A and B are shown apart, each in its own frame.
Chain A
Amino acid sequence: MYLKTAGSVLVIAASTWLGCLMGRELYERLDRLSTMKRIFLVIRQEILYSGMPLFEVFGNVSKRFEDPYKTWMLALEHRAKERNEGGFMEIWKDSLYQYLGTHGWQKKDLETLEGLGMEMAGMDREELVKVLELYIERLEWKVEDGKKEMGQKNRIFRSLGLMGGIFAVVLLL
């Protein structure tokens, strides 16, 4: 009797914990998008006020962030400096998937950022700053939308986890 009760409690706790974990994944996605927004803000400032070429901008920005963003920026710095790889679009896209795709970034979020690579190399300062502002705004929207949904989805995931656990207990018993 006591064993059954203990087992039931454990099953319900485990499934509720799984539900919370899924909610945590939402939170981490928002954190990634917010970090990327801060990175773009810093890049925008560097371009606007220093006018340095991109490889220097990436090198400077990498010092202000932790991995995987630091490694990503350093890789961009290195590849932009070497100039052996055709267009900047290829460098940008490859490095996005290589360094961020393997650290939890979802494909739909990476696709949002891909287009920036095509535009960065050929623009004058004014146009580039406006494009960066557009991407920053886009990331802001994603973060705001995500925050609005997060509370609701967290509750749903926790409830599903709890219900799932109770259902499993009922089945097992």
Chain B
Amino acid sequence: MLERKTTKQSQIMAFLPANMRELCRSQIDFEHAQEIRVRNGKPVVYMENGAERTLLDKGMPYRADENDLREILDYISHYSRYAYENEMRQGFLTVEGGHRIGLSGKVIVEGGRVKNMKYISSVNIRIAHEVRGCADDIFPYVTSERQMMHTLLIAPPGGGKTTVLRDMIRQISDGNQYVKGCTVGVVDERSEIAGMYLGREQNHLGIRTDVLDGCMKAEGMMMLVRSMAPRVLAVDELGMEEDIHAVEYAMHCGCKMVATVHGTSLKEVEEKPYLRKLIEEKRFERYVLLAGPSHAGRVEKIYGRDKKLLFSKQERMELCI
């Protein structure tokens, strides 16, 4: 078995090329870095605390070359690209620690579908950050008699939906003062929630959580409901028609849904063709609106089933619980 690397730095160093390791170790604060971008023939840049910086080598920008990219790919795949064909086809791999490596290069198309990717020209290392407790403020509003309500988290890209969802899953699974610990099923289509690596969760999702990793949402929800009997079902980024049908099915089966969707307001989400039906039928009991990227994860508003405002950060008032 692989020994688990305990720090973000050691996890990411494990797949950086030898030329870059010492430079990254001395310049990047991995606890506050969001991503590192390595492009063939271009300076290596990284985001730290929201600001873009360039990796320097003796005062000059360090330019990556194809050997660096080949080495990164060898390391993240453990010299076994064949074992990660599905992930490469989707354009990303998840590594130990739940960090996602996005790939870009020449795509091989066969029969109208992406078969593989060769000649990788750039790599985006997105550093995972688990924020425990970021969902604490939500629970008083989304629970009743120690049970979860059907909840929809709404936020724009970079708004912290996945991070908040992850913390909610953990707390529901383990239980807290607002909700009794229960079985949670998670459909982790893009391996972002659990960050599964070689069958192991890299993020903490609680003791009663079952994860279906890399599976399409609609099919995954059906599979979990039939096989794992979850009390709560969690999915990230609802959007397609089949996702909505699967949500309806799960609700009919007695599962409580906790889901996320892209949007900047409840009104915008109502205009999405497939979600409108669920909202009009008052299937969701709570809508939690998160702030944008500048205040990722912050709860802005919480609405009830009939769209009544229950909480507003801006007005700092609690209207109703």
Contacts and interface: CB of A to CB of B under 8 A. Distances in A.
B15 A123 contact: no
B275 to A, nearest CB: 37
A126 to B, nearest CB: 8
Nearest to B18: A86
B74 A54 contact: no
Interface stretch (A28-36, A45-53, A137-145, A154-162): A45-53
Contact of B74 (A57, A88, A127, A128): A88
Given A83-B75, A87-B74, A88-B74, A124 B81 contact: yes
B14 A123 contact: no
Given A51-B83, A53-B80, A121 B2 contact: no
A124 B116 contact: yes
A51 B70 CA distance: 21
Interface in B47-93: 70-71, 74-75, 77-85
A125 B78 contact: no
Contacts of A88: 74, 79
Contacts of A54: 78-80, 83
B82 A125 contact: yes
Interface residues of A, number: 22
A38 interface: no
Interface residues of B, number: 18
Contact of A122 (B15, B81, B83): B81
Interface string A57-86: 100000000000000000000001101001
Given A88-B74, A124-B116, A83 B81 contact: no
A81 B74 contact: no
Contact of B15 (A52, A83, A124, A125): A83
A19 B49 CA distance: 76
Contact of B85 (A83, A91, A125): A125
Contacts of A91: 79
Contact of A124 (B2, B78, B79, B85): B85
A48 to B, nearest CB: 10
A124 B74 CA distance: 13
Which DSSP category, helix, strand, loop or mixed, fits chain B's interface? helix
A81 B81 contact: no
Given A83-B15, A87-B74, A121-B74, A52 B83 contact: yes
A83 B78 contact: yes
Interface string A70-111: 000000000011010011100100000000000000000000
Nearest to A82: B14
Nearest to A57: B80
A88 B2 CA distance: 18
Contacts of B14: 83
A87 B67 CA distance: 10
Nearest to B21: A84
A18 interface: no
A14 interface: no
Contacts of B83: 51-54
B78 A55 contact: yes
Contact of B81 (A57, A80, A121): A121
B81 A123 contact: yes
8 closest A-B pairs (Cβ-Cβ)?
A53-B80, A88-B79, A125-B82, A121-B79, A53-B78, A53-B83, A54-B80, A83-B75
Given A51-B83, A124-B85, 4 more contacts: A53-B80, A80-B78, A86-B18, A121-B77
Interface of A: 47, 51-55, 57, 80-81, 83, 86-88, 91, 120-125, 127-128
12 contacts: A51-B83, A52-B83, A53-B78, A53-B84, A55-B78, A55-B79, A57-B80, A83-B14, A91-B79, A122-B81, A124-B81, A124-B82
